[in-house]
Amino acid sequence: MSLADKQEITEVLYRYARAVDRKDFDSVALCYFDDAIDNHGGYIGTVDGLIEDMKLRHKTIDSSIHCISNVLIDVNGDVAQCESYCLCFLRQERSGSGSVQTLATIKCRYVDRFERRRGEWRIADRIVVFDESREDVIENVLPTDWVTQRRSFDDPVFTRTP
């Protein structure tokens, strides 16, 4: 077990969160091995099916933030058991011309088995353990001239030049 292994696994968790939040589904898939199984609430199955499920569930979400924390990793050779906390904020698009939106806040944990294959750590098996989900009606009061997130490759994380 090395700190480098733990850092590589942690980076996969962070890349997963960013990929979901930007709707970069190709990058979501790269966090998993092709034969991985994900138990993600209403979906249990392969990564390809997970991606299709995500595309449907995130179709009307205009703001998504997945915050990863409390990452604990036990590495044993080329297999690692990992638990991480995730706090999700998912805001639905406005309906009609109104200014209010629905914000879902979800507390969950990722219980993952990572494997290192051909020198690369990826998720081999994931169970999402849900703690709580709530919905609130909100009104976004950010000034319109502030830079806001994009759920695409138009987001500043991709468009900003060095």
Q: Hey, is 66 helix, strand or coil?
A: strand
* pLDDT tens readout for residues 17-52: 999 999 999 999 999 999 999 999 999 999 999 999
Residue 59 is assigned to a structural domain of this protein? yes
- 150, part of any domain: no
CATH number at residue 86: 3.10.450.50
Show the tokens assigned to 20: 């979901």
The domain in which residue 26 lies consists of 3-143
**pLDDT tens by residue, 48-92:** 999 999 999 999 999 999 999 999 999 999 999 999 999 999 999
Q: Is residue 81 classed as helix, strand or coil in its secondary structure? A: strand
In a domain, 153, yes or no: no
Total Cβ atoms within 10 A of residue 60 = 12
- Domain membership of residue 94 (yes or no) is yes
Is pTM beyond 0.85? Reply is yes
Tell whether the model's pLDDT for residue 145 goes beyond 80. Answer: yes
Structural domain contains residue 68? yes
Q: How many domains does the chain have?
A: 1
How many whole angstroms separate alpha carbon 39 and alpha carbon 110? 10
Residue 17 lies inside a defined structural domain of this protein = yes
The answer to whether residue 159 is domain-embedded is no
- pLDDT(110) > 80: yes
